[in-house]
Chain A
Amino acid sequence: MHSLAEPILLLVVLTDFAVLATSRLSACIRAIASQGVLLGTLSLVVDGAWSIHAIALALGTIAIKAMLLPWFLRWAIREASVRREVEPLVGYMPSFLLGAAALVVSFAVAARLPATGSGPLLVPVALVTVMIGLVVLITRTKAISQVVGYLMLENGIYLFGLTQARRVPFLVEAGVLLDVFVGVFVMGIVVFHINREFDSISATNLSELRES
């Protein structure tokens, strides 16, 4: 484990909280994009070996997570002309506190998990990213914010994958490709359809789809 990994992981946590604390969707997207950059760099740093394979993985991760998806999201907010998460189900302060609690819990839990030999921070940060992703998914109403939460969740799983990178080759790559494919596909269709159907992309309107 390279010593550079620690500061990067800490920055990942900071981007998690940045997403939690901001109401502006563009800022959310910026945060999640920078998280993508961090994850890409991290996959280089964790192995410590600069193989072509590692570089390709990093570049692929950055291209997809930090460029493609944010670009897609920006396009979506332009199309639907939403700029802010107006009415989150849980206020910003409480969801922030939830995030802080998730932080403490995941560090406490990670201390009890068997060591993976990939540094002391990787597992707790992965856990915290997954949990905060869930918090965002649960507490936000706009579909865009939910996509951001979903991406964060996926980033956390990606971090988990990194702990196993040496033992199970191609796990991470497969994860990236599959998740991204599913993510783009599903969310793209969903956003497009909601938008066309209701002229807005608020996920609360989805409940009107149920059969009455």
Chain B
Amino acid sequence: MTVFYLVAFLSIFFALMTIFTKNPVHSVLYLVITFFTFTIHYILLNAQFLAVVNFIVYMGAIMVLFLFVLMLLNLNKDTEPMKSNLVKMMGVIAGCCLVVVLFGAFRVFDLSNPLIVKDPDIGLVKNLGKVLFKEFLLPFELSSILLLTAMIGAVLLAKKETRKV
């Protein structure tokens, strides 16, 4: 349990650092460390597959792309766009929405849910695959279609527009 509290503290700490650092590259790096602590959380929950996938996809690919974009951008003080009050208001509202959703989720969430504790091996690849392809087949396929759509959209965006004369 002490390990959990240590890792939880670290993840919250680095998540806060992500928000509060001025330098965007530092921010991304703190986010990477935050994801790493999440990986440790998954391992503590015996969800090895999720841990490794989180490790590969988030740390290894998505954050690299984030860093990639940030390195190409020239993020100096004077190029930073002015944040108008409207944007700040929108930020506050969005934050409030998130808090509401979180509280709602916590209210429904039952700590002694027997379904979760029942099978400690549910996070292993074999079980996860069986669950995904039997009980949750429809959502799984739907999400893959969503990803495919996003991919096609990205390709279309990246393609050069044929000039109409």
* A and B: interacting chains: no
| Interface set of A (CB-CB < 8 Å, partner B) | none
